[in-house]
Every structure is written in structure tokens, then in C-alpha cells.
Amino acid sequence: MPIDPYILLLLGTVGLAALLPARGTAADVASGASTAAIAFLFFLYGARLSTREAVDGLKHWRLHVTVLACTFVVFPLLGLAARGLVPALLTQPLYQGLLFLTLVPSTIQSSIAFTSIARGNVPAAICAGSFSSLVGIVLTPLLAAGLLGNAGGGFSADSLVKIVLQLLVPFLAGQVLRPWVGGFVARHKKILGLVDRGSILLVVYTAFSEGMVRGIWHQVSAVRLAGLLAVEAVLLAVMLALTWYGARALRFGREDRIAIQFAGSKKSLASGLPMASVLFGAHASLAVLPLMLFHQMQLMVCAVIARRRAGDPETPETPATSTAPTAVSRTAADSGPRSR
């Protein structure tokens, strides 16, 4: 049952924001630095993603459509259904954060790792995660606009403009400049990975500082937090079951079902945190709390499932039920956005 060290850093950042929140001029500086960090983060995402390899992955469109449907259709529908839990289990702000959680794209790195451990279709997991992250840059804000509206803690039509300027434009710039900067990014991926994580820590500190200054955290009690954890546990269990048995009903082979389960049941912390900062503003701290908790929960549960899947006996697969591995090299994992 692994504890992601990065979650510990995030929790430490939240603690720092609680004890020493940025105020006044310091808050303005932190906000400006956070905006620049988000833009640079998505520029790196664009520079890493290989367009050619992504296009090659379209050969297995059935698998990718299935993952996208799980991520951007089934998840949001379950999020909308959770509206009935307000106010019995969830407060309205926590529900808004839970609904936002269901709108963000899937992960790449952890989906690939768990698929590999479980002896699944790793190339398909690479492509599925990359497509989800790419589609999510556009689709997540649009879904948020339609499902959250002005109730999303300050979300408005202006947020779409911010999304375009802070996320989409830098991402497209990274894609355009990839022929010139792609090699540099690949050679320095470890250092730039630290930049990735440092940028997200800055975003979290800025969001939680503003939340502390505005007194938002007084809205969360231990009982509400326990209720949120219970709802998220049910949400994860439902998605894990739907992706596994649904993929079998669609006649996917074992390796493809593993890729679908891990890519279709998970949500990206790396993509969700910057988006929430742009979309929710001062209310971002409550909006990202469900995502942070769900992220750790999915890692712990999927690690156990992956190890159990690795012990499954080999089963023969016929062409009618199996999708052949896509011709994408393992190095594509480093080309896409680093989604934790």
C-alpha cells in the first residue's frame, strides 16, 4: 500500500500555507509566480508530447474511445449523481470539488506503471493517457463551464479565456517549438520533472494560502472529510468495476482490459491542480482537496490490483477478443505530459 512521497510534499505545502499564508504583497508575488509556473508547465507538456506517436496510436481507436468515454462521460455522470449527497454527506463546496474531480483527464505515468506490473498492454496505456491529457486541456474547462457554471466558486466565462491564455496557448507553443526544444526536454527530463513538481507545489501553496486568508477552511469538519473519503472510495470502486467488466463485455482481450481499467479509472493530479487554480481562483483550495485525496486512494488501490493481476495465469487470446499492441515505443511515456 504505497504512500506517494509527492503527496507528503503536497501535504507539507498545505501545512506551510496554513501556518504561513502569503498575504498582501507576498500574495500578489506568489499569485504572479503561480500563473507563470502554470503556463511553463503546460509549455513543457506540449514540448514532450510526440504528435507522430499520438497519431500512430489512433490505430486502436476502440480502446481509446472506451477510455475517453470512461473519463469524460461515465465519471461526470457519477459526479452529477453525487449531487443527491448534499447536504447529508457533502457540503456544497466539497461537492463542487468532487464534481470537478470527475472532469479532469486521466493519468499517464501511474497508468503505464500499473499496466506494466499487471502485464497489460503498455503501449495502449501510453497512448490512452496521452490522448486523455490532450483532450482534457480543452474538454475539462468546457465541461466545467456547463456543469459547474457560476456555482463553481467564482467560475465564469472569463475563466475560459484564462484557460486559453494560461494552458492552451503555452501547450500549443510547446507543440510548435517541439522540433527545436524537444531534444533538450528529453535530455533534461529529470531536472524538468523537478520543475514540474515544484510548479505544482507553488500552485498548491498559493491556492491554500488564499483559502486560509479568506477563512474557507472553516467550512470543512472531520465528519465532512470522512464523508468525502467514503464517497470517493465508492466512486473508485464503481469505476474499477465498470472499466474491467465493461471492457470484457466489449470483447477486449486481457491485456487491453488491464490498460482500460488503469487508464479509465484514474484522474490526473498534475493536470487537475493547475486547471483548478485557473478555474476556481480563491476557492481552489477546497476544489482540489477531493482530487488530492482521490489521487492517493487510487494509487494505493491500483497498486494492490496490479500485483494481483500480475499473478493471473496466462490465458490465450484470439484475434476477435484482443487488440494488437500499438507500434509506439516505450519512450513515448516521456513524450507526454507527466501526470501524477
Average pLDDT over residues 242-253: 95
Helix, strand or coil for residue 253? coil
Q: What is the CA radius of gyration of the chain?
A: 19
Residues of the chain with pLDDT > 90: what percent?
A: 25
pLDDT above 50 for 222: yes
> For the residues 296-317, what does the mean pLDDT come to?
79
Query: What's the rounded Cα separation, in Å, for the pair 108 and 254?
Result: 20
What's the length of the chain?
340
Mean pLDDT, the chain, whole residue set:
81
What average pLDDT does range 17-28 have in this prediction?
85
- What does the pLDDT look like over 100-125, one tens digit per residue? 999 999 987 788 888 988 988 888 88
pLDDT recorded at residue 54 = 60
Q: Which of the four pLDDT bands, split at 50, 70 and 90, describes residue 319?
A: very low
Among residues 248, 251, 253, 265, the alpha carbon closest in space to that of 306 is found at 265
Q: Please tell me the predicted confidence (pLDDT) of residue 160.
A: 64
Tell me: pLDDT of 244 over 90.
yes
* pLDDT of 52 higher than 90: no
The per-residue pLDDT for range 54-66, each reduced to its tens digit, is: 666 567 889 999 9
Q: Specify the pTM.
A: 0.77
Indicate the DSSP class of residue 23: -
pLDDT at 127 over 90: no
Question: How far is 31 from 253, CA to CA, in rounded Å?
Answer: 48
Banded model confidence at residue 238, pLDDT cuts 50, 70, 90: very high
Q: Is 50 exceeded by the pLDDT of residue 340?
A: no
Residue that the C-alpha cell 465498470 belongs to: 242
Domains and CATH numbers, the chain: 10-311 (1.20.1530.20)
Report the candidate in 272, 297, 340, 262 with the shortest Cα–Cα distance to residue 2.
Answer: 297
Q: What was the pLDDT predicted at 2?
A: 56
pLDDT at residue number 156: 54
Mean pLDDT over 132-140 rounds to 86
**Helix/strand/coil for 52:** helix
Q: Average pLDDT, stretch 225-237?
A: 95
Can you tell me which residue has the cell 476557492?
283
Work out the angle at residue 34's Cα, subtended by the Cα atoms of residues 28 and 39, and round it to the nearest 5 degrees: 135
pLDDT of 310 above 80: yes
For residue 331, pLDDT beyond 80: no
CA 294 and chain centroid, separation:
10
d(CA 301, CA 238): 13
